[in-house]
């Protein structure tokens, strides 16, 4: 079953990476944005770390949100997905395949941002700091995978991309992932402090700058993770009953 799981993951990744639009917009855009808009604002190593953290978080957010939202919405409308249920493998294996593939693509996206940072700035961190950074950027991104599931169960294949964009772009901006929170207007800053993207950014920035991660950021993100996961489980069960009950 483990071999089958990794084979299916490889097939899912092959399928995804054959879509140039997806590769460019989701995997390369964070690195390109970092290069175009982040690098010119790098003044010292701390600002390089901060901006790299922001755009890495932006990359993870985009990958998991789109992979989950669009992937689940398409699967729900796909006869292939129904067909897979006639095969002698547990249906959950396909869900885990999607999760693992999203994680792998998120690694690629973050890798592109890091490569750009290493190539264009004087960023330098200890191996330990890199490990903390990567752990934070992936772990704190979990709520967005759950949010993607929620949106995937609430949208159709046609509406999934616009809806994901409606969340992705405003949340990224208001969360301070494009421009630092102190550059936001007062009204946006007030909203920002309650957004999961802001909690996400604060955790990643704290880790990458070697500062203490405040508990309220972690609790905020944990609460979002639990809430989104609970909603995703409820919607998943409702969808299962409707389609396969």
Partner 1 sequence: MNEVVAEFQSVSKTFGRVKAVTDLSFQIHRGEILGFLGPNGAGKSTSLNLLQGIRHPSQGKVSLFGRSPQSLEAKRKLGVTPQDLDFPSHLNVREVLRMVCWAHGRGREAELLQRLSLQKIAERRTSVLSGGEKRRLGLACALAGAPELILLDEPTTGLDVESRYVLWEVVQQEREKGTTIVLTTHYLDELDKLGDRVIVIDLGQKLFEGSVRQIKSFVDFQKLAFDLPKGFELVGINHLSLQRDDQSCVLIVADADETVRQLVHNNVPFQNLHVSSASLEEAFLHFRRRSVGGEAATGVQEGPTRPSPEALMTSVASPPPTRAPPTQPGGVG
For partner 1, the binding residues (CB under 8 A) are 4, 7-8, 11, 14-16, 18-19, 78-80, 82-90, 244-245
Q: Which is nearer to partner 1, 128 or 244 (CB)?
A: 244
Nearer to partner 1, 94 or 132 (CB): 94
SS3 assignment, position 2: helix
Q: Between residues 157 and 181, which has the closer beta carbon with respect to partner 1?
A: 157
Phi-psi region of 239 (alpha: psi -120 to 50; beta: other; left: phi over 0): alpha
Nearest approach, Cβ of 152 to partner 1 (angstroms)? 17
Q: Smallest gap, in angstroms, from Cβ of residue 94 to partner 1?
A: 10
* Helix runs in 34-91, H state only: 45-76, 79-84
At closest approach, how far in Å is the CB of 99 from partner 1? 18
Comparing CB distances to partner 1, the nearer of 40 and 245 is 245
- In this structure, the number of other CB atoms found within 10 A of the CB of residue 86 comes to 6
Closest distance to partner 1 from the beta carbon of 5 (Å): 10
Separation CA 161–CA 28 (nearest Å): 18
Q: How far apart are alpha carbons 156 and 75 in whole angstroms?
A: 10
Q: From CA 221, how far away is CA 227, in angstroms rounded?
A: 10
Measured between alpha carbons, how far is 94 from 86 in angstroms, rounded to an integer?
13
State the Cα–Cα distance between residues 47 and 111, nearest whole angstrom.
19
* Residue position matching structure tokens 């990567």: 134
Of residues 4 and 119, the one with the C-beta less far from partner 1: 4
Q: CB of 115: closest distance to partner 1 in angstroms?
A: 26
Query: Which lies closer to partner 1 via its Cβ, residue 162 or residue 245?
Result: 245
Report how far apart, in Å, the C-alpha atoms of 60 and of each of 10, 12, 35, 102, 107 are.
20, 18, 17, 9, 8
Shortest reach from residue 111's CB to partner 1, in Å: 22
91 phi, psi to nearest 5 deg: -60, -30
């Amino acid at each position: 079953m483990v071999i089958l799981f990794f084979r299916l993951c490889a097939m899912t990744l092959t399928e995804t990476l054959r879509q140039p639009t997806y590769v460019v917009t989701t995997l390369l855009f964070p690195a390109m944005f970092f290069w175009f808009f982040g690098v010119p604002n790098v003044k010292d190593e701390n600002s390089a770390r901060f901006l790299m953290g922001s755009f890495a978080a932006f990359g993870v957010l985009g990958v998991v949100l789109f992979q989950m939202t669009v992937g689940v919405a398409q699967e729900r409308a796909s006869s292939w997905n129904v067909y897979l249920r006639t095969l002698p493998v547990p249906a959950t294996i396909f869900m885990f395949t999607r999760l693992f593939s999203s994680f792998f693509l998120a690694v690629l996206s973050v890798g592109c941002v890091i490569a750009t940072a290493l190539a264009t700035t004087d960023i330098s961190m200890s191996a330990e700091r890199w490990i903390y950074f990567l752990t934070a950027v992936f772990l704190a991104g979990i709520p967005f995978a759950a949010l993607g599931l929620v949106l995937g169960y609430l949208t159709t294949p046609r509406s999934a991309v616009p809806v994901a964009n409606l969340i992705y772009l405003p949340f990224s901006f208001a969360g301070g992932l494009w421009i630092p929170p102190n550059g936001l207007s007062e009204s946006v800053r007030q909203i920002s402090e309650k957004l999961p993207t802001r909690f996400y950014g604060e955790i990643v920035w704290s880790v990458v700058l070697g500062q203490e991660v405040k508990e309220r950021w972690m609790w905020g993100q944990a609460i979002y993770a639990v809430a989104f996961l609970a909603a995703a489980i409820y919607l998943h069960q409702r969808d299962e009953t409707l389609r396969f009950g």
